[in-house]
Amino acid sequence: MTATVKTPPWSDAWGSEEDAAPVDPASLIALGHIAATTPDELDSRVSAAHAALPSWSRDHRQRAAVMTRWAQALTAHADELVSALVEETGKPVREARAEVAGAVEALNYNSGLCRYVGGRAGALSDGNVLHLVRQPVGPTAFIVPWNWPVLLLLRDLSPALAAGVTAVVKPSPQTAQVTARVLALGHEAGVPEDAVALVIGNRAVGDALVRHRLIRAVSFTGSTAVGQAIMQSAAIDLTRPLLELGGKGVAVVFSDSDVDRACDAILAAAFITAGQMCMACTRVLVHTNVHHQVTERIVNGTKALRVGDPRSADTAIGPLISVAHATRVLGYLDDVRRDATVLTGGQEVHPDGLPGGFVTPAVVTDVDLDSPIVQDDVFGPVVTIEPFDSEDEAVTAANATPFGLVGAVWTSDVNRAWRVASGIAAGTVWVNGYNKSYPEMPSGGFKGSGLGRTRGIEGVEQFTEVKNVHFTVDDPGV
């Protein structure tokens, strides 16, 4: 039976505004056009994913083999994918290469988890037998952002495929083309087209996908506001949400830390993808004894970063995703100059004559804890430096935003590291490091940074239902 797709409340019909019309963020040159998926097409693809679930989930070895071949295909086409990522996201070449490599690693790791069983069995007190088994949750929607579109897709999709679900993928329209290519390589590697399908569109298409009654789970990475809207749509049919949302990544630097090493890691983490990353280090809390030293080191390091054409090998920071977003970030910096100090950066530039939304990386100090630059997910190349005097003060300040995705502690005292890491309300806390992510390490957020976990065994189990199968024994002998 064909399922019903409910019309989104804010749209009477899907029009051309739902089409994918990406623009190169650096040059502002149009990159082509993909028509939005129609309501009938969306319904057909979800229904096909539902029908494909039994055969796809049944053969663990087949899933493992095709995922391995998919990883090999991404490796073989890495140069093509890197070029597409640079063109569609504006990220520098070295970041694009790291993204493709991370996607390959996710597929390879999770291919082995296709044979993960994850249940248990045992005799009950009355002599009967209980089997707890895990089975795929069902067709799952994957709504993927533009900033790391290949890695974030396969970070979540790989454990889901290991669990045996089928998928309908809706990328950001800005990165629809590279996503379509990645999925095409998966289909060539043996993933059935009905098992992993693509839909194109913006908000209305995404909402209709989440509301489709055959979709049983939704995986989304993106802003907290959109995550809240997805939860409202998912609630209609009690669709399971997996949400990794906004962040205000914080690094806490104590006076007994390796300051140079800490600053190097903070600089890399603060300005990755021009700060347009939910795990970016946006706040640095520094003990007053080393506040001047850390501030000087970060300011000098920030000034040394080259803003330029993302295709150039020596570019550290490319454009923001759009001129409109660059204007938004610059607005935050204009506002904060009234009450705080911008030590460097925060200026609009056009390197190499490129018209895109380029912003020089900014370091801000003398900020109040309730300042929007501290409290909001600015999502740009901006980092604040905030002093503290005690462990308790540092933990209180670290937890003083609505977010709780990631944090880091820098100290040579292992006991302090444990105390502070335990006190920070975040899904991931690194000690003497930052942005260390692995396919076997679960990740996710506290508070406004989302719910659920991806990666690792927990990532596979996220896409399963637990079923209790009770066997009544004719003669239990009790």
Q: Mind telling me the catalytic residues?
A: 244, 278
Question: What is d(CA 472, CA 469) in angstroms, rounded to the nearest whole number?
Answer: 10
Strand partners, 219: 142, 242
Q: Give Cα 320 to chain centroid, integer Å.
A: 17
Token pair 């911008």 is found at 342
Question: In sequence order, what are the residues at sequence separation of 6 or more whose Cβ sits closer than 8 angstroms to the Cβ of residue 219?
Answer: 140, 141, 142, 143, 156, 157, 160, 242, 454
Question: What is d(CA 435, CA 196) in angstroms, rounded to the nearest whole number?
Answer: 29
Residue 19 C-beta-side C-alpha neighbours within 13 Å: 10
CB 107 within 8 A of CB 158: yes
Question: What is d(CA 50, CA 166) in angstroms, rounded to the nearest whole number?
Answer: 7
Token pair 């640079």 is found at 86
Question: What is d(CA 211, CA 218) in angstroms, rounded to the nearest whole number?
Answer: 10
CB 179 within 8 A of CB 211: no
Strand partners, 299: none
Strand partners, 447: 403
Q: How many CB atoms neighbour CB 45 within 10 A?
A: 21
Question: What is d(CA 86, CA 88) in angstroms, rounded to the nearest whole number?
Answer: 6
Question: What is d(CA 214, CA 140) in angstroms, rounded to the nearest whole number?
Answer: 9
CB 340 within 8 A of CB 280: no
Strand partners, 144: 171
CB 166 within 8 A of CB 56: yes
